[in-house]
């Protein structure tokens, strides 16, 4: 098992944000966390990699408690891609190379550089290698941050809205890449998403949060329209197009307001 979260609790200023969260991620599994704005999706990711310290519960990565791991050890096991990323005076190549820092002792080896080159090729960033990351578009910067997490070679990847700043083509490219990395390297991945259709197309498992609690959790194929309506307060239907599930609202928000 890559990740095991048991009875996770988190509170901010005395207010419970997450209450009793339990789920697991196996090798080769991509899990998507879904729910309305403000439900605690990003907070849950930040608890897993100890940016936030949980008030209770257990978080195990390959049977080791992350709460007892050093930051350097966490970096060897967990790659994290935030929704908003800081820019600095670094080139694209140097920013991605920083992902290898947990593995580098004195200086980057040929192996380190080959891994960085491979990530740059896979994300089609070759023509931007020497460009400063403060000169990139939001979508380009997101691809750099995903590349930096990939070169860490983590056992678990955490991604907060990984496609939010990308156009449609790049969304499909990134999700396809993540799917292949998870499958080929037998790692685990947890991502937060607002796009139900993208989550249902690429994820193995869905975790739906409502009011800081687990509403539904299980294989993507077992998610029902009733579950989605209960979480989002919107009636939907689930259809299949070319074998992929597609969530379709039954009525528009404008119609609901009348």
12-55, pLDDT tens digit by residue? 888 889 999 999 999 999 999 999 998 999 999 999 999 999 98
90, 168: one domain:
yes
* pLDDT score for 122: 86
99-125, pLDDT tens digit by residue? 898 888 788 889 989 999 999 998 889
185, 233: one domain:
no
Tell me which DSSP letter residue 126 carries: G
CATH code for position 174: 3.40.50.300
> Is it the case that residue 254 has pLDDT exceeding 80?
no
- Where residue 143 falls among pLDDT bands split at 50, 70, 90? confident
250, 218: one domain:
no
199, 242: one domain:
no
* pLDDT score for 104: 84
* pLDDT score for 87: 62
pTM: 0.90
Instruction: Give the tokens for residue 48.
Output: 């897993």
145, 236: one domain:
no
63, 96: one domain:
yes
Instruction: Give the tokens for residue 229.
Output: 């309506």
> Is it the case that residue 256 has pLDDT exceeding 60?
no
* pLDDT score for 91: 92
What mean pLDDT comes out for the span 58-71?
Answer: 94
191-229, pLDDT tens digit by residue? 999 999 999 999 999 999 999 999 999 999 999 999 999
213, 240: one domain:
no
Instruction: Give the tokens for residue 86.
Output: 């800081």
208, 103: one domain:
yes
9, 37: one domain:
yes
130, 248: one domain:
no
Residue 72 has φ and ψ, to the nearest 5°, of: -65, -40
203, 235: one domain:
no
Domain coverage including residue 249 = 225-258
* pLDDT score for 233: 92
CA distance 44 to 126: 34
Using alpha carbons only, give the angle 200, 205, 209 rounded to the nearest 5 degrees: 90
CA distance 207 to 33: 5
pLDDT mean across residues, the chain: 90
* pLDDT score for 213: 93
42, 151: one domain:
yes
164-191, pLDDT tens digit by residue? 878 898 889 889 989 988 998 899 999 9
Residues 64, 47, 214, 250, Cα dihedral to 10°: -130
The domain tally of the chain equals 2
């Amino acid at each position: 098992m890559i990740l095991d979260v048991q009875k996770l609790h988190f509170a901010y200023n005395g207010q419970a944000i997450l209450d009793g969260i339990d789920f697991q991620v196996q090798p080769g599994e991509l899990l998507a966390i879904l729910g309305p704005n403000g439900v605690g999706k990003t907070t849950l990711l930040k608890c897993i990699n100890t940016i936030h310290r949980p008030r209770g519960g257990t978080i195990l990565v390959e049977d080791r408690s992350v709460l007892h791991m050093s930051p350097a050890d966490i970096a060897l096991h967990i790659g994290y891609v935030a929704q908003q990323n800081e820019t600095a005076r670094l080139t694209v190549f140097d920013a991605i190379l920083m992902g290898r820092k947990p593995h580098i002792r004195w200086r980057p080896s040929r192996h380190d550089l080959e891994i960085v080159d491979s990530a740059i090729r896979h994300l089609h960033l070759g023509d931007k290698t020497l460009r400063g990351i403060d000169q990139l578009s939001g979508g380009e910067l997101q691809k750099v941050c995903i590349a930096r997490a990939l070169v860490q070679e983590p056992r678990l990847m955490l991604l907060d809205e990984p496609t939010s700043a990308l156009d449609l083509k790049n969304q499909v490219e990134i999700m396809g890449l993540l799917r292949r990395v998870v499958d080929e390297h037998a790692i685990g991945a947890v991502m937060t998403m607002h796009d139900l259709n993208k989550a249902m197309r690429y994820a193995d498992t869905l975790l739906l949060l409502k009011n800081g609690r687990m509403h539904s959790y299980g294989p993507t194929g077992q998610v029902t329209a009733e579950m989605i309506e209960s979480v989002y307060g919107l009636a939907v239907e689930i259809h299949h197009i070319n074998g992929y599930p597609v969530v379709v609202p039954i009525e528009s928000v404008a119609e609901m307001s009348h």
